Amino acid sequence: MRKMELIAPCHFGLEAVLRREITDLGYEISEVEDGRITFLGDEEAVCRANIFLRTAERVLIKVGSFHAETFEELFQGTKALEWENYIPADGKFWVAKAASVKSKLFSPSDIQSIMKKAMVERLKGVYKVSWFPETGAPFPVRVFLKKDEVTVGLDTTGESLHKRGYRKLTAKAPIAENLAAALIMLTPWKADRILVDPFCGSGTIPIEAAMMAANMAPGMNREFTAEEWGHFIDRKCWYRASDEAQDLVDLDVKTDIQGYDIDAEMVNIARENAKLAGVDHLIHFQRRPVAELSHPKKYGFLITNPPYGERLEDKKDLPALYRTLGERYAQLDDWSMYLITSYENAQQDIGRKADKNRKIYNGMMKTYFYQYQGAKPPKRAKQEGQAKR
29-44 pLDDT, tens digit each:
999 999 999 999 999 9
What pLDDT does 382 receive? 46
Alpha-carbon distances of 334 from 314, 330, 377, rounded to whole Å:
31, 9, 9
Mean pLDDT of all residues in 83-108:
97
The rounded percent of the chain whose pLDDT value lies above 90 is 91
Cα gap 338→300, rounded to integer Å: 11
Cα gap 379→327, rounded to integer Å: 29
Query: For residues 217 and 388, which has the higher predicted lDDT (pLDDT)?
Result: 217
Cα gap 168→329, rounded to integer Å: 31
What pLDDT does 389 receive? 47
Q: What is the pLDDT of residues 132-159, one digit of tens each?
A: 999 999 999 999 999 999 999 999 999 9
Burial of 45 (0-12, 13-18, 19+ CB in 10 A): buried
Residue ranges and CATH numbers for the domains of the chain are 4-155 (3.30.2130.30), 177-218+247-383 (3.40.50.150)
What pLDDT does 315 receive? 82
Position 89 pLDDT exceeds 50: yes
> DSSP secondary-structure letter at 225?
G
Cα gap 102→146, rounded to integer Å: 6
Cα gap 197→302, rounded to integer Å: 6
CB-CB neighbours of 301 under 10 Å: 23
86-90, 116-120, 311-315, 317-321: range with lowest mean pLDDT? 311-315
Position 299 pLDDT exceeds 50: yes
Collapsed DSSP state (helix, strand, coil) of residue 278? coil
Partners of residue 259 on adjacent β-strands: 197, 285
What pLDDT does 171 receive? 64
- Quote the strand ranges of 42-193, DSSP E: 60-67, 92-101, 138-146, 149-155
Query: For residues 172 and 224, which has the higher predicted lDDT (pLDDT)?
Result: 224
Position 385 pLDDT exceeds 60: no
Of 362, 317, 320, 364, nearest in space to 339 by CA: 362
15-29, 43-57, 299-313: range with lowest mean pLDDT? 299-313
What pLDDT does 265 receive? 94
Query: For residues 174 and 235, which has the higher predicted lDDT (pLDDT)?
Result: 235
> Is the distance from CB of 196 to CB of 300 less than 8 angstroms?
yes
Q: What is the pLDDT of residues 232-279, one digit of tens each?
A: 999 999 999 999 999 999 999 999 999 999 999 999 999 999 999 999
Q: What is the pLDDT of residues 49-59, one digit of tens each?
A: 999 999 999 99
Position 219 pLDDT exceeds 60: yes
Model-level pTM?
0.94
Mean pLDDT of all residues in 58-85:
98
What pLDDT does 34 receive? 94
What pLDDT does 364 receive? 83
Position 334 pLDDT exceeds 60: yes
Mean pLDDT of all residues in 20-30:
98
186-200, 226-240, 298-312: range with lowest mean pLDDT? 298-312
Mean pLDDT of the chain: 94
Mean pLDDT of all residues in 57-71:
98
> Is the distance from CB of 368 to CB of 357 less than 8 angstroms?
yes
